[in-house]
Structure 1
Amino acid sequence: MTAPRLTHAISIGRPTGMLLCLLLTLTTAAARANHLSQHRSPPMRRPLPLPEAPAQNQATLLQKLRELIGYNPRQAVGGSRSGSAGQLCLITPRFRQRADGVATAVVSSPTPALLAAGPLNEVRLERDGRILWGRRASSSHPITGAIPWPLSPLQPGETVTLRLRPQGAAGADFASVELQAAAAAEQQRAEKLLADQAPRLELIEAQALQGRSALASELLFAPMQKTPAAIISLRRQLIEQGCGINSATP
């Protein structure tokens, strides 16, 4: 009866040994995995984005542009006797006073906007004394704000005379500015800038820094489909500082 017991013990002992080997193998693998996890390099982290450079103070920028662009001196209205109607403040185009007293503006855009501060009774564009275009205010509705160019585009070198009569001035009392179209290359530059999709304020700043204050002024007051707040503010500042008028933005 001894042999059967031995055989039974052996038949049971074989699977038990295999089980022990399996457990030992799993234990060793778990220990190795734990060791590797403890000594594994930490996962790579993406670097945090650098903080953005602080935006240039817009008020400082507008002040700088206002100084670079400058403004026209007040013009005497011919024949006026006295009072506020004796002077006119033309915002754009920018002009220079010649030695003979004639105000002359070289305009880069073939279709420059026309803007005077304060209400007007009449605006004309003339050549050799002949009226090419004119507009008169009614008794209750003076002419205010920017006037889009009403004629066909100016050709390079073409000259017309802008005549402006402020509200309250007599019928023959006008301020006059001779408008001279720039050369073809300058006209092309202006048209390219006006069609540029870049922010208008950036374009104005670039021209002002290059000493093209008249072109910068034309860009500033040129009509826009949607006028940014910074452009509105700069327009208002130039009118207030140049003309001493606290008026609504044109």
Structure 2
Amino acid sequence: MHSRLITGLVLVGLAATPSSRALQQPELPVAVCVVAPRVEPVEMADALGVVPVSRPRLVLVEPLLELRIERPRADTWRLVSSPDQPIRTPLDWPTTPIGPGEPVLLQLRPEEASAEAFAHVHLVGASASRMAQSQRLIDQLSAGGQPAGWLGAIDSALREGDVPLAWALLFAPQIPDDGQLRALQQEVIRRGCGD
């Protein structure tokens, strides 16, 4: 029963909107499978996601050598690693929270990419009311501490077609350490970008 629920939740979330592979420009193809926050491919940018939480947890399939977070009126946040100790995720949001409507550019350099080759993911903070509502839900779920509550909220978000909220909940730092929730996280990561 539990494995059917997990499979059903994953299939609903993945079928509704497949994860995105962010690519740089045609002359320097660099692909990174971004699982969370939820992003979609777009024409003018590599990938775009509206984030319902101010501190999204970053979940990627591939390890990175470099991560940059750029904002319009702030210094670029940067994390650089070496090939023998790459950046692995999940990674809690490492800088100031994303504000409502705020654009943020993630630049991601995977292993074996040249020093100039980055995948780009554009994030935008959701509306103030949506971000507040998402935070209230996370606070309520955290206070309850029950894995069933988290699974129910994730299922509800998926049934409503709100995959960004479902994945924000599934990968929230506050989620309880529970076998069923871990299995669901692992299944979403395993399916990654559906290649």
Contact 1:69–1:214, Cα closer than 8 Å, also in 2: no
2:162 corresponding residue in structure 1: 212
Deviation string 1:4-31 (CA, Å, 9 cap, x unpaired) is: xxxxxxxxxxxxxxxxxxxxxxxxxxxx
1:236 corresponding residue in structure 2: 186
TM-score (norm 1): 0.68
The Cα shift of 1:234 comes to 0.9
Identity of aligned residues (%): 30
Q: For the pair shown, which has the larger CA radius of gyration, 1 or 2?
A: 1
Amino acid at match of 1:213: V
Runs (4 or more) in structure 1 with deviation over 6 Å come to: none
1:72 corresponding residue in structure 2: 19
User: Could you say what the CA RMSD is over the residues aligned between the two structures, in angstroms?
Assistant: 2.1
Q: Does 1:192 align with 2:156?
A: no
The Cα shift of 1:131 comes to 4.6
Contact 2:22–2:46, Cα closer than 8 Å, also in 1: no
1:42 corresponding residue in structure 2: none
1:152 corresponding residue in structure 2: 96
The Cα shift of 1:121 comes to 0.3
Contact 1:124–1:162, Cα closer than 8 Å, also in 2: yes
The Cα shift of 1:243 comes to 4.0
Q: Does 1:223 align with 2:167?
A: no
Structure 1 residues 152 and 73, CA, compared in 2 at 3 Å: closer, same or farther? closer
Aligned partners of 1:77 and 1:228: how far apart in 2? 37
The Cα shift of 1:220 comes to 0.5
Q: Larger relative contact order (C-alpha < 8 A, sep ≥ 6)? A: 2
Aligned partners of 1:241 and 1:155: how far apart in 2? 30
The Cα shift of 1:155 comes to 1.6
Secondary structure in 2 matching 1:111 = coil
Aligned partners of 1:200 and 1:177: how far apart in 2? 27
Amino acid at match of 1:72: S
**What are the equivalent positions in structure 2 for 1:1-250 lying under 5 Å apart?**
57-70=1-14, 71-78=18-25, 79-80=27-28, 86-128=30-72, 131-196=75-140, 197=144, 198=146, 199-224=149-174, 226-243=176-193
Contact 1:124–1:134, Cα closer than 8 Å, also in 2: yes
More strand as a share of residues:
2
Amino acid at match of 2:190: E
The Cα shift of 1:102 comes to 4.0
Contact 2:71–2:104, Cα closer than 8 Å, also in 1: yes
More helix as a share of residues:
1
Unaligned runs of 5+ in 2: none
Unaligned runs of 5+ in 1: 1-56, 246-250
Deviation string 1:84-127 (CA, Å, 9 cap, x unpaired) is: xx321111111122333442110000111111112110011013
Aligned partners of 2:87 and 2:63: how far apart in 1? 6
Secondary structure in 2 matching 1:203 = helix
Deviation string 1:178-210 (CA, Å, 9 cap, x unpaired) is: 110000111011101211225311111111111
TM-score (norm 2): 0.86
